[in-house]
Amino acid sequence: MVDAATTHAIEYTINGERQQATVPARRLLVHHIRDTLGMKGTHIGCDTGSCGACSVIVDGRLVKSCMMLAAQADGTAIETVEGLAPDGALTPLQQAFNEQHGLQCGYCTPGLLMAASFLLRRNPNPSEAEIRRAIRGNICRCTGYVNIVRSIEAAAGPAASERAA
C-alpha cells in the first residue's frame, strides 16, 4: 500500500517532453531522472551538492539535482545534458569539448556542459574570469580546467557563430 502522505503526483517538462509521475516525498531529482526516466547523462558524484556532476537547468536556473527533491520539480521545465542535442548532432559547445580536449574520464562533463550552456545563453562571449566563475561549482579531478576553459572559449562568441554557419 502506498501512503499518499509520502508520495507526490507531479507534472513537469523534461527536455521538451511533458511527463507525469508519482514520486516518494524524499526522492531526489537526480535519482528520478536517472532511475525512473533512465536518463543516465546526469551523473551522481557526491550527493552533497559539491561536485556539480548532477547539474541540470530547471526553469532557467542551474541546479544541482542532488540538492532538489523530485516533488519540487512539479510544474517546472527541466533540461538535462540529453536535451542539449535532441537531434543527435553535437552542439558547438560539445564539439569544442571534443576538439579542445575538455574532457578526460568524462564523469564531470555532463555537469560542466550544463554549467557552460547556462553561462553561454546569458553571456555568449564571456571572459576567462567569467568562465572560471561559472564552472566553479563543478569539480573535475582529471584536468587542470585549462582545456575546459579553452573549450568554452572556443564555443563562445564569433567562434560559435562560424561553426554554426
∠ CA(75), CA(22), CA(58), 5° rounding? 30
DSSP for 65-106, please give it: GGGSBGGGGTT-EEE-GGGG-TTSSPPHHHHHHHHTT--SS-
pLDDT band of 165, cuts 50, 70, 90: very low
pTM for this predicted structure: 0.91
Q: How far apart are CA 116 and CA 124, in angstroms?
A: 10
Is pLDDT at 24 greater than 90 in this prediction? yes
Q: How far from each other are the two terminal CA atoms of the chain, in whole angstroms?
A: 56
Q: What is the pLDDT of residues 68-127, one digit of tens each?
A: 999 999 999 999 999 999 888 999 999 999 999 999 899 999 999 999 999 999 999 999
Q: What is the pLDDT of residues 134-159, one digit of tens each?
A: 999 999 998 889 999 999 999 997 65
* Count of residues making up the chain: 165
Cβ(154)–Cβ(162) below 8 Å: no
Q: What is the pLDDT of residues 29-40, one digit of tens each?
A: 999 999 999 999
Cell numbers for 126: 564571456
11: which strand partners? 20
Enumerate domains of the chain plus CATH numbers: 4-84 (3.10.20.30), 92-164 (1.10.150.120)
pLDDT at 42: 97
